[in-house]
């Protein structure tokens, strides 16, 4: 995840006189954009530092500081968005000015209305929701456990009673958020309507270089394209869980119990690979976590390994300040937000990551992902302020995921983690693909439903009293999973997922699941890779790195189809690359599922 607050100078800053003219001209629009970017740039450094301190040192004081900074930002973002809308009918705009006006109208995630105190209240609620999450704890065998540690335990615990306890106790974290969340929706919707949108969800969907309705159709088309692969993986996994736990815990047919899948939200299932691994071919011969331990690699060494991947492609090393200012591990003396994120504090070279790194496979891959954000941020740092972002938000997430796909056996050999003699041969390909599929494929329906839930909430189709029921229903419809216990009417399970109280739009992660495989297949073709796609690693290929950097440098200066075409040769998103990557596995899954009643 990347933290990018579009920055603002002062909520009371005056707009240029030209922007207030009764009949604005193209020259007025250009002057307004220049002034808006100056204001955003002036605010950015201060606000980012405040938000960093709040995320890495949660106290009542830093909460208050973050709320004030957020309110200041919200006020000016809304003000600039409304001023930008006044140029909607101006003719003769150059392409650059027209795009920047559009981005100003789309920039804010939670718009506040002009009503006195609304921006402050919205910022206070947003800060309170995130802090409630950050301070949250669950239990395991009766002992209090912080969220980050509980997430890790979900991947290793196999006692269904303990899994149920952890799942249920953590999801209780969301319950106190329900009232605040409903009020946040109310305020943000009022702000979105003042900007000319039906609701906040419609505003979010409009930010993808296409009409909001077309974006919904794109999500549905891509999901339908890859859903058959997910359905067969679900069917196979359910059978294995039934064999392990029996009918009383996991039935042979129907949905899967959510807490059995090795992840608090069942968004990735790689942690239960040991449960589903096929006999013989299932043993792929190595575990990244065990390799890290054997090489005595700690959190810093893991990050250095991630940096080395990008250096091998020709990217410059991370700045010295990255190593002194980042949060790599959880401090023992204070509350922090452990959810991994990448930061660009000054829009230049003050790059940081915020993690609570554990020496395991998941965090090794996550590091490659988060650093992808940092290298993207630095690549486009010469763009003007409104272009300091990825082509669309899915690109930002996809770059890191694409890098992580390169963590193959061949890559591990090249970086000295795996001995050549232990590289699994072709007979292990099903195991390699299955383990990768358990990590990647379940995220497809999950990443689609999170924002589908919010779109319904923002539109009013889902009322506050039905928040939790709608969430559970969507999870059943798209993921084929159910809670391990009946949920009380006043539960707020969405609050147990950081991106809901953190107000981070989630469609980006869905797009990233698609785009990462498109980037990967294109890169492997450029590198001249001839073997199975899932074995490819572009590590050390500076020519591919040069072409990749050319796309990254574009930032948000061009519509995303142009950026996509610059690297892949196509301007269309497609699930075909993902399907090509997993094609041998999908054939095998269908064979394994013969005689099973797949679906739910």
* Residues 6+ positions from 591 with CB-CB distance below 8 Å: none
Phi and psi torsions of 14, nearest 5°: -85, 140
Distance CA 434, CA 430 (A): 6
In the prediction, which pLDDT does 12 show? Answer: 29
Q: What angle do CA 464, 454, 106 make, to 5 degrees?
A: 125
Beta-strand pair 481-482/256-257 = parallel
CA angle 64-69-72, nearest 5°? 125
Q: Please give the structure tokens belonging to residue 117.
A: 């105190």
- Chain centroid, CA 405 distance in Å: 16
From 269, 345, 352, 359, select the one nearest 305 (Cα to Cα): 359
Q: In a 3-state reduction of DSSP, which class is residue 89?
A: coil
Residue 66 has which token pair? 């973050």
Question: What pLDDT does 15 receive?
Answer: 40
Helix, strand, or coil (residue 317)? coil
Question: What CA–CA distance (Å, rounded) separates 173 from 145?
Answer: 12
Q: What is the 3-state secondary structure (H, E, C) of 478-504?
A: HHCEECCCCCCCCCCHHHHCCCCCCCC
State the DSSP H helix or E strand holding residue 342, giving kind and residue range, or none if neither: strand 341-344
* Contact between 174 and 493 (Cβ < 8 Å): yes
Domain 288-441+507-592 CATH (choose: 1.10.1370.30, 1.20.1250.20, 1.10.260.40, 1.20.120.80): 1.10.1370.30
Q: How far is CA 69 from CA 10, 37, 106, 116, in A?
A: 10, 18, 20, 17
Q: How many CB atoms lie within 10 A of CB 460?
A: 12
Q: What is the pLDDT of residue 22?
A: 66
At 282 the pLDDT is 66
Helix (H, G, I), strand (E, B) or coil at 305: helix
Strand partners, 343: 3, 352
| Residue position matching structure tokens 């106790």 | 169
Domain limits, the chain: 2-108, 288-441+507-592
Q: Which residues pair with 344 in a beta bridge?
A: 351
Q: In terms of pTM, does the model score above 0.85?
A: yes
pLDDT in 10s for each residue of the chain, 600 residues: 554 433 333 332 334 444 444 689 999 999 999 999 999 998 988 999 999 999 999 999 999 999 999 889 888 888 898 899 889 889 999 999 999 998 998 878 998 898 999 989 999 999 999 999 989 999 999 999 988 899 989 999 999 999 999 999 999 999 999 999 999 999 999 999 988 889 999 999 988 999 989 999 999 999 999 999 999 999 999 999 999 999 999 999 999 999 999 999 999 999 999 999 988 766 777 889 999 999 999 999 999 999 999 999 999 999 999 999 999 999 999 999 898 999 999 999 999 999 999 999 889 999 999 999 999 999 999 999 999 999 999 999 899 899 989 999 889 999 999 999 888 888 889 998 999 999 999 999 999 999 999 999 999 999 999 999 999 999 999 999 999 999 998 999 999 999 999 999 999 999 999 999 999 999 999 999 998 999 999 999 999 999 999 999 999 999 999 999 999 999 999 999 999 999 999 999 999 999 999 999
Catalytic residue annotation = 339-340, 369-370, 373, 397, 499, 509
Q: Is the Cβ–Cβ distance between 392 and 560 less than 8 Å?
A: yes
The answer to whether residues 160 and 275 touch, using CB atoms and an 8 Å cutoff, is no
Please tell me whether residue 237 adopts helix, strand or coil conformation: helix
Residue 556 pLDDT: 96
Length of the chain: 600
Measured CA to CA in angstroms, residue 359 lies from 356, 365, 410 at distances of: 10, 11, 21
């Amino acid at each position: 995840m990347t933290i990018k607050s579009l920055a603002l100078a002062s909520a009371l800053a005056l707009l240029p006189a030209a922007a207030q003219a009764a009949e604005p001209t193209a020259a007025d629009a250009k002057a307004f954009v220049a002034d808006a970017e100056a204001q955003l740039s002036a605010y950015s450094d201060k606000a980012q530092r405040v938000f960093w301190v709040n995320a890495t040192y949660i106290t009542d004081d830093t909460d208050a500081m973050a709320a004030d900074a957020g309110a200041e930002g919200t006020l000016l973002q809304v003000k600039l968005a409304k001023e930008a809308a006044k140029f909607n009918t101006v003719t003769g705009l150059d392409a650059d000015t027209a795009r920047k006006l559009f981005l100003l109208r789309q920039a804010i995630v939670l718009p506040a209305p002009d009503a006195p105190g609304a921006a402050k209240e919205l910022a206070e609620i947003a800060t309170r929701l995130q802090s409630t999450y950050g301070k949250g704890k669950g239990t395991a065998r009766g002992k209090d456990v912080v969220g980050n540690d509980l997430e890790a335990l979900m991947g290793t615990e196999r006692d269904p009673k303990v899994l149920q306890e952890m799942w249920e106790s953590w999801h209780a974290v969301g319950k106190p958020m329900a009232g605040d969340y409903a009020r946040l929706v109310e305020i943000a919707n009022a702000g979105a309507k003042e900007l000319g949108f039906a609701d906040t969800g419609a505003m979010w969907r409009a930010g993808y270089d296409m009409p909001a309705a077309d974006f919904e159709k794109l999500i549905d088309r891509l999901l339908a394209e890859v859903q058959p692969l997910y359905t067969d993986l679900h069917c196979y996994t359910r059978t294995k869980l039934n064999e392990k736990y029996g009918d009383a815990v996991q039935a042979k047919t129907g949905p899967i119990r959510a807490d059995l899948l090795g992840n608090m939200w069942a968004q990735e299932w790689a942690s239960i690979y040991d449960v589903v691994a096929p006999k013989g071919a299932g043993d792929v011969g190595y575990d990244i976590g065990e390799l890290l331990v054997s090489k005595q690699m700690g959190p810093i060494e893991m990050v250095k390994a991630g940096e080395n991947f990008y250096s091998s492609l020709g990217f410059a090393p991370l700045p010295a300040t990255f190593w002194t200012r980042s949060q790599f591990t959880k401090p023992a003396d204070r509350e922090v937000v452990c959810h991994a994120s990448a930061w660009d504090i000054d829009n230049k070279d003050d790059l940081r990551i915020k993690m609570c790194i554990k020496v395991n496979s998941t965090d090794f891959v996550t590091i490659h992902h988060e650093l992808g954000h940092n290298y993207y941020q630095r690549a486009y740092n010469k763009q003007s302020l409104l272009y300091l972002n990825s082509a669309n938000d899915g690109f930002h997430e996809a770059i890191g995921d694409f890098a992580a796909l390169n963590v193959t056996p061949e890559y591990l050999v090249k970086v000295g983690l795996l001995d050549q003699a232990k590289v699994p041969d072709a007979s292990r390909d099903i195991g390699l693909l299955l383990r990768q599929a358990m990590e990647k494929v379940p995220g497809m329906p999950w990443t689609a439903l999170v924002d589908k839930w919010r779109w319904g909430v923002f539109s009013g189709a889902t009322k506050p009293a039905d928040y939790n029921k709608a969430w559970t229903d969507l999870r059943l419809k798209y993921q084929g999973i159910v809670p391990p216990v009946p949920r009380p009417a006043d539960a707020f399970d969405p609050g147990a997922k950081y991106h809901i109280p953190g107000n981070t739009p989630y469609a980006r992660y869905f797009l990233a699941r698609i785009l990462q495989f498109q980037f990967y297949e294109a890169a492997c073709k450029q590198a001249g890779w001839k073997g199975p796609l899932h074995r490819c690693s572009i590590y050390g290929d500076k020519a591919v790195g040069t072409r990749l950097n050319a796309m990254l440098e574009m930032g948000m200066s061009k519509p995303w189809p142009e950026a996509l075409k610059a690297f892949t040769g196509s301007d269309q998103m497609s699930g075909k690359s993902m399907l090509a990557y997993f094609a041998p596995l999908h054939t095998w899954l269908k064979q394994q599922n013969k005689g099973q009643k797949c679906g739910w």
